[in-house]
Amino acid sequence: MQATPLSSIVEAFEEVAEIIEDGNQELALKTFCDACALVSVLFNSLGIAFKFAEMEYCAKVRGLSEASNRYSNLHYILDNDVQNDTVKCQGSLSRNLRRVRQGLDLIRALFEQFLSVYDGSLREAAQSAYTQTCAPYHSWAIRTAVAAGMYALPSRHQLLINLNETS
């Protein structure tokens, strides 16, 4: 049986969780980035409505992934940015990490909402997830554009087809 995007994501994040819960080793930045990169397919499956979020998320994951050549784990990134007082600077790896976390939170909240109600609409789930995770950080103009984009989301059925989750 061929792995689906969702099963690949679950497997990768279960590995991340095991490393964190074990506590005997630091989570390697590359392992974290590899798991995060798999999530981009979820943004993509949401269509044009989440295209900007997908581009932003992928760029931040790519930046962190490139940094894995210099930093072995997440703590080194944070320690370096704290030491250099660049945590809040645009383009800093700490800020990229925060944006990746926000993207993961958005996808997590969206799919929690989506799966909690069997016949609920994807648009309602996405709007609720966005309101919880991203809206507090966005300007009125961005929130308005996102609200309009919600109408371009695929149907629940189409999303499942997009993700090869038809069985």
E strand segments, the chain: none
What is the pTM assigned to this prediction?
A: 0.89
Q: What's the confidence (pLDDT) of residue 1?
A: 56
CA–CA gap between residue 44 and residue 27 (Å, rounded)? 27
Q: How confident is the model at residue 118, as a pLDDT?
A: 65
What lies within 8 Å, CB to CB, of 68 at 6+ separation is: 28, 29, 30, 33
Q: pLDDT tens string for the chain (167 positions)?
A: 578 888 899 999 999 999 988 877 788 999 999 999 999 999 998 888 788 889 999 999 999 999 999 999 888 999 999 999 999 899 899 999 999 999 999 999 998 988 887 677 888 889 999 999 999 999 999 899 888 889 989 988 888 888 888 76
Measured distance CA(27)–CA(111) in Å, rounded: 25
C-alpha–C-alpha distance, residues 97 and 111, integer Å: 21
